[in-house]
Chains A and B, each alone.
Chain A
Amino acid sequence: MKNLILIILLFSFSSVFAQPNCEAYKYYGDTLKYEACKKAMETKGNYQFSREYQTILDESLTIDPTFDYAYWAKSIAYLKSGDFVTWKKLIDKTVEYKPKEHLGYRGWCRYQFFRDYKGAIEDIEKLDSLVDYDIGQSQNGTYHLNIAKGLCYKGIGEKEKAIKIIETQIKLNEEEDFVGTYDYLHLGVLYLEMERFEKAIEVFKKQSKTNELAENQYYSALTFLKLDKSTEYKSCLEKAKELYIEGRKMSDPYSNPMDKIYLENIENEIKTAYNNGSYEKP
Chain B
Amino acid sequence: MPKMKKTLIAISFLFSIISSCQSEKKVEEKQEYLRWVGDIEQNDQIDKLDFKVCNGDDKILQYFNLGEGPLYSGEKSTILKTFKSKYKPSVDNSQNGLIRIRFIINCEGKAGRFRVLQSDYDYQEIEFDKRIVSQLVDITKGIENWEICYRSDIPVDYYMYFIFKITDGQLTEILP
Contact = CB atoms under 8 A, between A and B. Distances in A.
A249 to B, nearest CB: 11
A252 interface: yes
Contacts of A89: 123
A50 interface: yes
A263 to B, nearest CB: 6
Interface residues of B, number: 37
B138 interface: no
Interface in A26-69: 47-51, 54-55, 58, 62
Mostly helix, strand, loop or mixed at chain A's interface? helix
A192 B159 CA distance: 37
A274 interface: no
A82 B70 CA distance: 13
Interface string B158-176: 0101010100000001011
A133 interface: no
Interface string A74-90: 00011011111101110
A89 B125 CA distance: 11
A140 interface: no
A263 B165 CA distance: 24
Give the interface size bracket for A toward B. 35 or more
B50 to A, nearest CB: 25
Contact of B70 (A83, A255, A263, A264): A255
Nearest to B32: A51
B69 A262 contact: no
A55 B30 CA distance: 9
A58 B30 contact: yes
A241 to B, nearest CB: 14
B44 interface: no
Given A51-B36, A77-B36, A115 B69 contact: no
A64 to B, nearest CB: 14
Contacts of A262: 75-77
B163 A80 contact: no
A256 interface: yes
B153 interface: no
Given A84-B117, A85-B119, A85-B123, A49 B100 contact: no
Interface of B: 26, 29-31, 33-38, 62, 64, 67-70, 74-78, 98, 100, 102, 117, 119, 121, 123-125, 159, 161, 163, 165, 173, 175-176
Given A50-B35, A82-B102, A262-B77, 9 more contacts: A49-B37, A51-B36, A82-B117, A82-B163, A113-B176, A254-B70, A256-B175, A256-B176, A264-B77
